[in-house]
Amino acid sequence: MPQRSSAKELSTFQALLEARIEELERATRERDGIAVEPSPDQVDEVQRASERALAISNVDRGSKQLRSARAALRRIHEGTFGVCEQCEEAIHPKRLVAIPWASFCIQCQEEADGRDALSNAA
């Protein structure tokens, strides 16, 4: 049986997640870098396209992290926070401190990353 976090730890994680959610929501509203502005200079156009691609990538990453943080907050309310969704073992506290929205233990996350790498390579 996985070791459950104490009420104080859960409260701390909840505050961290709520702050991160607020920060990510604010960042996803700021999408100025995605605007398409034509330029007569091809070098400027290429530079802007590169900047746009980076901004889109950042918004995408932020959106994924926002969904993960909201899901972690739900897990706190449901009483399943800190339990790996794959193997149902406890997620190491150091992992949760580093990544409070983690839904997998290290081993299951590495397996998932390996599967993702294989599917992206195909």
Long-range contacts of residues 49-57, Cβ cutoff 8 Å, at least 24 apart: 55/31
Tens-place pLDDT, residues 38-93: 777 788 888 888 888 888 888 889 899 999 999 999 999 999 999 999 999 999 99
Whole-number Å distance between alpha carbons of 39 and 104? 45
pTM here is: 0.76
Between 21 and 53, the more confident residue is 21
In order of start, what are the domains of the chain with their CATH numbers? Answer: 7-121 (1.20.120.910)
Report whether pLDDT(105) > 90.
Answer: yes
- Three-state SS for 82? coil
Whole-number Å distance between alpha carbons of 30 and 87? 37
Q: What pLDDT, on the 0 to 100 scale, is given for residue 53?
A: 86
CB of 108 within 8 A of CB of 86? Answer: yes
User: Taking all residues of the chain, what is their mean pLDDT, rounded to a whole number?
Assistant: 86
Between 77 and 30, the more confident residue is 77
Whole-number Å distance between alpha carbons of 50 and 53? 5
Q: What pLDDT, on the 0 to 100 scale, is given for residue 57?
A: 87
